[in-house]
Structures are given as structure tokens and as C-alpha cells.
Amino acid sequence: MTRILPILLFAVTASAATPAFSPSVPDVEVVTHEGKKVRFYSDLVKGRTVAVNFIYTSCSTICPSTGALFAALQTEHERVQFISVSIDPETDTPPKLAAWSNRFRKTPQWTLVTGSQAAIEKIVKAFGLTTARPQDHSPLTIVGSDKTGHWSKLYGFAGSDRIAKVVAEVTK
């Protein structure tokens, strides 16, 4: 089965947001692009409004686009913690994540993480994806507020206006 058709469909359709959902965000240990060990929930999500996406550094299609989107958003949304989770933890070491982030990252409110395959699978599944396999990824951004408990999934390439609207919705 070819993967081109779903990518093209995502690229040409407007980003759709799902109804609210409540992820059970795991508090697994992950490693940041700076090489620091942190707990995913306790250190990155707890008490914050977050935007989470799933990337891998050798991707040449979806991930550079979602990286550019996060780059644009991070200066517009100072109260949002941006988190990119590598779905290729065997390849994406902290130095590779740091090099990838240097292309996009402008502020310290954007953290890229990797970890054990088991930890990444728990994170991916908590946000409603079925697998952390790079060959099966699609553009998905999760926006949520741990304070309010409101979460939304944005499928496709959500523009900055759409993300801003969802950030406002989840922080109400």
C-alpha cells in the first residue's frame, strides 16, 4: 500500500480538529535535545498548555513542515510549551534532535524529546496514535491544557490561525 495518497490528502485538506478528548499523559522518562533526562508529564506537561507533535529527524516530507509551523508559533504563543516527540528513538539521539531543532527552534519553550521505544510508544498511544513507526506517521498536532483538561487533535497541516484558535479554546 502506498503512503503517498494519505500524505497528499492531508496536504490539500483543511486541518480538522477532533472533539475534546482526555489523554492519560504518561510520566515516562525521556531525554531532551539537550541531553537532559526529564519526566514527560511532570516536567513538560503538568500545569501547562502544550502543543505536541511527532517527528523524526530523517523525515523529508511532513516533519520539516511541522517544524516550520512550530517555529512560527513559538514566538506568537509565549505561554504554550511546544514538545516534539521523536518517533524514531533508535536513530534520533539528543545530538541529532539538537541539530534538527537548530533549523527551527527560536525559544526555550520548545523541547524535543527521545527515549526508549517503550516510553515513546506510551506517549504516542496516550495521544491516540496506534504506533510510533516513522513509515506510518502523519501530520498530527495535539493542543491541550493540563490546567483546564481540554485537549484537541489537529489532523493535517494546521495553519497558525487554526492553532491560535485551538489554543484559545483549550485554555478557556
Domains of the chain: 4-170 (3.40.30.10)
Average pLDDT over residues 57-85: 84
Per-residue model confidence (pLDDT) at position 83 = 95
Q: Which residue has the cell 535535545?
A: 33
Q: Where are the alpha helices (H) located in the chain, listed in sequence order?
A: 4-12, 62-76, 94-101, 117-126, 160-170
pLDDT digits (tens, 9 = 90+) for 138-172: 778 888 999 989 898 887 666 667 777 777 777 77
3 state DSSP class of 50: strand
Per-residue model confidence (pLDDT) at position 1 = 38
| Residue predicted with more confidence, 76 or 108 | 108
| Residue predicted with more confidence, 49 or 71 | 49
Average pLDDT over residues 67-90: 86
CB 163 within 8 A of CB 154: yes
Confidence band for 15, pLDDT divided at 50, 70 and 90:
very low
Chain centroid offset of residue 114 CA? 12
Confidence band for 132, pLDDT divided at 50, 70 and 90:
low
CB 70 within 8 A of CB 42: no
**Can you read off the three cell numbers belonging to residue 138?**
502523519
Query: Burial code of 134-170, b = ≥16 C-beta within 10 A, e = fewer?
Result: beebebbbbbbbbeeebbbbbbbbbeeebbbebbeeb
User: Among 77, 49, 66, which Cα is nearest to 152's?
Assistant: 49
| Residue predicted with more confidence, 168 or 17 | 168
pLDDT digits (tens, 9 = 90+) for 91-131: 999 999 999 988 887 788 899 999 999 999 999 999 887 76
3 state DSSP class of 162: helix
Mean model confidence pLDDT for the chain: 81
Q: Residues in the chain, how many?
A: 172
- Tell me the C-alpha distance between 17 and 29, whole Å: 29
**Can you read off the three cell numbers belonging to residue 169?**
479554546
Per-residue model confidence (pLDDT) at position 9 = 33
Q: Which residue has the cell 513509515?
A: 135
